[in-house]
Chain A
Amino acid sequence: MGNKVALLGWSLQAIESIQKTDRPFVVVSFPEFEQAAKDNAIDFVGWNFKEWNEQSNSLQLKALLDEFDVDFAVPLYEETVEWAGALNSIFRDDPRLLNRAYLFRNKAIMKRKALLAGLRVGLFEEVYTKQGVHDFMERLNEANLQLPGEEDAWVHLKPFSAAGTVGHKLLRTKDDIEEKVIDKDFPCMVESHLPGKEFSCEAFIHNGKIRFLNITEYVKLGYSNFVPAGPDLEAKRPLIRDAMERLVKSFGIEYGMIHPEWFLTEDNTLNFGEVACRIPGGHIFELIEKAHGFDPIQGLVLCSDPSATDEEVENFFPKQDIKDDQNYAGSVMVYPKPGRITKLQIPDELKEDSFFEDHTLYTPSEHKVSDEREGFGNHYGTVFFNGDDPDRMRELLRHYQDIDFYA
């Protein structure tokens, strides 16, 4: 078996990373990228991931990839996860791989699977109508022994398959259900609110074993995080690693990387949130590269390659989870407040801070920021930090996530 990879999705970052290795590769993406690929001498297969039917399925795609002698596929975007599953099923002659890919694409099945593995999850249900959401909230209220006048239980509504926080709605009251939920949301999943501190893990898995486990500390979900986690959370690494291993085992993951989100409660239990099998958002890969010193895209591809040897994999990742002189890399994503924005204002003390690294904020031409957001919406740029003190890092992120960079 060779080591040629098909990258599913057009990502300049991924192309650059893979070009730095000597691994042969093909990019599979929408036909509009074909010219750019040709101009830059990149092997390319044009494919519409949105079409899955008799004429457009993994068998056809596999046939196209065979012309390039491809050995395995790596998904780069949420939408390509099941395509990668289907292709790898054929490459490795293991039909269950495709089913595993579906696991990642349906949050309700995912939770059920986690529940079966003995992981703690919140109460959840698939719902098809607004009434279903009301009923679910009502049952939660009953379970909480709600008295008249007391607040309703919080309910999270999530589409089955969207990436990250897209389409996520938090419903705090029955009025919220009436105001925020629309017909287009259904069918979807509702779940009880999980208490605890949220964080994510990025586990690089090869041959069923976790070869490197990063813990990302969330300062504020969707806004700011840093890598690796500070000492308090790192102290829980054995507990986290144990839960991760159970997750990997029960999901049957052999090769690649997973990015689950967890909640750690004050009494030291872990609640499973959800898990994705693609490059995480929130600049986490950039932060991993800065903090741990390896290229995580290369790591992802290497771990996805069944022909890679244990030695290759071991040599690739750092020996220690946390270095003795560990540096912490953090980022704050900036969203302007709704309304009209005309200028960028960067506080002097930010740029003078020794932890400040750089920013990608751009100067707006005057326009209105819509107050309707999907997920966390498009952010307007990111401020990056780098430094040796996790407590100061957390403090900085907390401070700057509330600063208004646009006026």
Chain B
Amino acid sequence: MNKNSKKIPQGVRDKFRETLENFKQASPLLAETHKKKLLSSLDLLTDREDGMKFLYDHISELVDAGIFRDTMWDDPARLVPSLVGGTLKAGGQNTIVEILSELRLLAIANGSIKLKNFSAGKAKTFLEEALVSNIDLIFPDGSEEERLIDADTRKKISALFNFLTEQISVNKIKGRLAKELELICAQRPVVTDRVLEIISTVKNEIELSSENDDDRRLRYYVNAVYSPSEKTGELTVDEYRVYLNKARRKEIVHECEMLADTMHETGLATGYHAVHLNHVAHEGALVKLALGLDNVGKAELDKHKDFVTELIRTVIHPDTGRSCYGLAKLLERSLLSHQPVKSGLQRILGMKLHKDVEGNIRQSRQNSTLDPKHILTADCLSILGQPLGVGQGWNPTCQSARGISLWSSHAPGKLLNMVENAAKSNSLSMRFEGTVIKSDEQVLGLVKELDYNLDAVSIVLVPHLDKIYNEMMRRAANRYDDPHKWVNPAMYGHWIPTGFISAYDYLTNSIKEYEKFIRTFYITHHPEYNGGNNLAYPNPVGIFLTSSTGKLIGFHAVSILRVQRVKGQVRVFILNPNNEGRQRWQDDMRPTVAGNGERAGESSLPFHQFASRLYAFHFNQSDLEDLQSVDDEEVVKVTELAKNSWGESYQWLNQAGFAM
């Protein structure tokens, strides 16, 4: 439909006016009923771009009437740009309210609505970030996911983004987009679908010049994926295979070097990499080059050449191209020399998958015709090679993702063993306080419907880990302390230290003895107090996740990987399994993923800032020294940060249990 073909019919305007007036006048009892009627009158308006303009012109009236009152949209300071897309796609009235929320932000950014706690600048930044994280919605590409959205909702989303991009030009977000790509890639995620999707959108939809710096940065990623070498830039993957068959050795070597370079620079491996690696699989020297291995990796390859050739031939395919990078990193970790890993991979290669597991893996890779077993093996290579690249997708399963990462780092044999068991029987068992919990006997988990944007290892394990975790939490509930005290060691393994302290009191939903809590964290984790010792194993800790304005969003699970002085500042390095190690936790509190000594997949922030978000952690009891030796000023600083952010959502109790 041509967007300008018709004016908004008078009937639609009248209906809007009538339902809005009714809503304004409604008694509290009937407000909800009239809000529904008002929102349903917005249905026709949100279908069209001139309707967006019309609503934008009326947005402050709608806000004043209370359209956001008592909803999660009420306070713009609590909104999160990366969640905009998901809510827009939800359909129905959620979509409509989310659209209004963006129109309100635009009005704030343009100064027509003024709020005390949310400036025009913040609104502008929010919208730019929302555009960047929803680049796929600006340029719909007819992907599988896109097709699942109903036509009506798709129409609304496109009307909204057309309207927004008239106000905020796509050129303006190029810089942010480039930064987005750089920072995602710096984290070396296992699942690269999203970053590939953004790159594909940039390539197809955005004009890039060679003059502008932002354009050059974007071009770099487009090239990494679509022409990692001159030849690949000219040929499709199939044509490239044919070319390789005829190419001279010198050319092959050149391709090896080019492809290995872009792969290691970006962490992105493509169909070209897969085809090329298969072509050279029989020759160790070329495999070393193609995978760009370091000396450790080369030695490892020499030791296990036949098995590596077999792995490449069976599981590396254009559909599993990303695992070329995982394989390189796995070799550099010398994991094949760890006997349980090698035999674990061999067993998975030779096993028969449970049919439901097969179905789940197929569903996660709907475009692939590969044997699910081979997809699973390929993703095992990635998970083992990139333990910090594990993500939870859109699932509320940070606990499970954290576990997979931890096992990949410290118990890769155990991890493969769990994968094998779960894939064979579609079930998993774990011990908890002397009894065995079987996942297929549990009904409840945190996740209702699994989002399949996950690696195959997670597809196999997460549904079971989630249920087991949930059951352990249930059994450990009502014990007058945080259930994680008992659940974490049972879930993750015996290396979790036995000391445990939590600032959050489950029974009273309040914060208790915070000073002692913070002093304990400093004594056991800060190098100035703990004798400069580093952590032996990752520490699974609980944090309060906060929005960019410091407002509490909820509980979240991360792992502390190490604490180290960088550029004169002590920083905490963590694994954040929510795929996004660099959310903004308050104005100037932003975990970084690069530039402060982070390894790929780590994020870090200054010690006191991290401490101010913590609510529970494990520690070695032998590390407990005199708590009073911790600098008082530091404790006050952390407490202030806590109280002025998530702390506003809780009551604080002192040692005697009185409110402070």
Contact = CB atoms under 8 A, between A and B. Distances in A.
Most B Cβ at <10 Å: residue of A15, A359, A360, A363: A363
Interface stretch (A51-59, A186-194, A240-248, A344-352): A344-352
B23 to A, nearest CB: 12
Given A348-B1, A358-B15, A363 B148 contact: no
B57 interface: no
A7 to B, nearest CB: 14
A362 B15 contact: no
Contacts of A12: 29-30, 33
Contact of B91 (A19, A343, A359): A343
B44 interface: yes
B150 interface: yes
Contacts of A40: 27-29
A343 B95 CA distance: 14
B27 to A, nearest CB: 6
A16 B30 CA distance: 7
B349 to A, nearest CB: 34
Interface string B205-224: 00000000000000000000
A348 B11 CA distance: 18
Given A363-B90, A363-B92, A363-B150, A358 B27 contact: no
A342 B150 CA distance: 9
A36 B29 contact: yes
Most B Cβ at <10 Å: residue of A342, A354, A358: A358
Interface in A344-378: 344-346, 348, 351-352, 354, 357-360, 362-363, 366
Nearest to A36: B29
A358 B92 contact: no
B41 interface: yes
B44 A351 contact: yes
SS class, residues of chain A in contact with chain B = mixed
Contacts of B92: 344, 362-363
Contacts, number: 62
Contacts of B44: 351, 358
Contacts of A352: 1
Interface string A282-294: 0000000000000
B447 to A, nearest CB: 14
A343 B47 contact: no
Contacts of B9: 354
Interface in B33-51: 33, 36, 40-41, 43-44, 47
Contacts of A351: 43-44, 47
Nearest to B91: A363
A266 interface: no
Contact of A359 (B26, B29, B40): B40
Nearest to B449: A366
Interface in B47-61: 47
B29 A15 contact: yes
Contacts of B91: 343-344, 363
Contacts of B27: 16, 19, 40
B153 interface: yes
A96 to B, nearest CB: 37
Contacts of B294: none
A165 B43 CA distance: 32
Interface string B516-560: 000000000000000000000000000000000000000000000
Contacts of A348: 1, 151
A348 B48 CA distance: 12
B630 to A, nearest CB: 49
Contacts of B29: 12, 15, 36, 39-40, 42
Contact of A342 (B26, B28, B33, B148): B148
B43 A359 contact: yes
Contacts of A16: 26-27, 30, 33
Nearest to B36: A360
A343 B40 contact: no
Interface string B1-34: 1000000010100010000000000111110010
A379 to B, nearest CB: 16
Contacts of B230: none
A358 B151 contact: no
A358 B150 contact: no
B146 interface: no
Interface residues of A, number: 25
Contacts of A36: 29
Given A342-B148, A343-B148, A15 B30 contact: yes
Nearest to A19: B27
SS class, residues of chain B in contact with chain A = helix
A35 to B, nearest CB: 11
B152 interface: yes
B43 A343 contact: no
Contacts of A15: 29-30
Contacts of A342: 148
A344 B150 contact: yes
Nearest to B33: A12
A357 B40 CA distance: 10
A115 to B, nearest CB: 42
B93 interface: yes
Nearest to A352: B1
Contacts of A345: 150-152
A121 B556 CA distance: 68
A360 B37 CA distance: 8
Contacts of A344: 91-92, 150, 152
Interface in B266-286: none
Contacts of A39: 28-29
Contacts of B93: 362
A334 to B, nearest CB: 14
A362 B93 CA distance: 8
Interface string A32-44: 0000100110100
Interface string B338-366: 00000000000000000000000000000
A358 B41 contact: yes
A83 to B, nearest CB: 23
Nearest to B47: A351
A69 B557 CA distance: 61
Contacts of A346: 150-152
A360 B151 CA distance: 17
Contacts of B152: 344-346
B28 A343 contact: no
A352 B40 CA distance: 15
Nearest to A358: B40
Nearest to A366: B449
A168 B125 CA distance: 59
Nearest to B151: A345
A146 B28 CA distance: 63
A359 B152 CA distance: 13
Nearest to A13: B33
Contacts of A354: 9, 11
B204 to A, nearest CB: 26
Contacts of A343: 91, 148-150
A87 B449 CA distance: 52
Contacts of B150: 343-346, 363
B43 A358 contact: yes
A310 B15 CA distance: 35
Q: Rank and list the top 9 A-B pairs by shortest CB-CB distance, nearest first.
A: A363-B91, A363-B92, A343-B150, A40-B29, A362-B92, A346-B152, A358-B40, A344-B150, A16-B30
Interface of A: 12-13, 15-16, 19, 36, 39-40, 42, 342-346, 348, 351-352, 354, 357-360, 362-363, 366
24 contacts: A12-B29, A12-B30, A19-B27, A39-B29, A42-B29, A342-B148, A343-B91, A344-B152, A345-B150, A345-B151, A345-B152, A346-B151, A346-B152, A348-B151, A351-B47, A354-B9, A358-B15, A358-B43, A359-B43, A360-B40, A363-B90, A363-B92, A363-B95, A363-B150
Given A16-B26, A348-B151, A363-B95, 13 more contacts: A15-B29, A15-B30, A16-B33, A39-B29, A40-B27, A40-B28, A344-B150, A344-B152, A348-B1, A358-B41, A362-B92, A363-B91, A366-B449
